[in-house]
Amino acid sequence: MSMTPSTLPMLGGSDFEVRRILCIGRNYAEHAAEMGADVREPPFHFAKSLPALVLADGPTAWPYPVATSDCHHELEVVIALGCGGAGLTPAQAAACVVGWGLGLDMTRRDLQNAAKKASRPWASAKDFDGSAICTPLVPAEVFGAPTEGPLVLTVDGDVRQRGDLKQLLWSVPDLIAQLSALMTLGAGDLIYTGTPSGVGPVQVGQTLVGTFPGLPTLTVSIVAREVAHGLG
């Protein structure tokens, strides 16, 4: 596992310095439904701290996390901001995107469910070491600004998640604009845009492969912590 606390490589360019990590929840209708939520609601977000960031540049060993027996995968398209502001319009928000990647928002689902039942925050379910996996970024000037395309995750060759970017309840410009109504966004913000349906548990020994056209393939093998110890 290659952990990079503050940077991600931008293919063909300099490293992207990550300022913070923001994740959008329930941004695909089928995933919202499988999590027991209304099909469409205003977007909400949660944050992950910089030690959560893991670079998946080629096949990557990822140690099963502590304090859980029910860790789930959530495949997401990730966007990187080169500028920001407060109260952005969707057009202004779209102009801030400088890079695109593919990521996994790993979730300790048992901790999340327990926190929900107790009406407590569920930061410990989302924000833990290594929980924000991301490929190298592709510059927006190369990748463009897609509004559709298949997002697919396989586990040991079997399709677990399959969605399309056109199924986003809130488009990339809209979700950035909505975030900017809550905080001042800035260069270095990394945003996970939401996951399609099919989230589920991972086990030691499994290999996850995520794809989206034009982005690096994300390949992660789940390993026991003692096996991962000392890996750079």
Asked whether the predicted pLDDT for residue 40 surpasses 70, the reply is: no
Give tens-digit pLDDT for 112-134.
Answer: 999 999 999 999 999 999 999 99
Q: Is 24 helix (H, G, I), strand (E, B) or coil?
A: strand
* Whether pLDDT at 71 is above 60: yes
Asked whether residue 92 carries a pLDDT value surpassing 80, the answer given is yes
User: Under a CB-based contact definition with an 8 Å cutoff, are residues 173 and 116 in contact?
Assistant: no
DSSP 3-state of 83: coil
Least Cα distance to 74 among 111, 32, 42 occurs for 32
Residue 37's pLDDT is: 63
Determine whether 219 is exposed, middle or buried from the number of CB atoms within 10 Å of its CB (0-12, 13-18, 19+). middle
Instruction: Quick: pLDDT tens for 153-198.
Output: 999 999 999 999 999 999 999 999 999 999 999 999 999 999 999 9
User: What structural domains does the chain harbor?
Assistant: 7-228 (3.90.850.10)
CA angle, 63 then 65 then 71, to 5°: 110
Tell me, what's the pLDDT at 4? 47
Confidence (pLDDT) at 36: 61
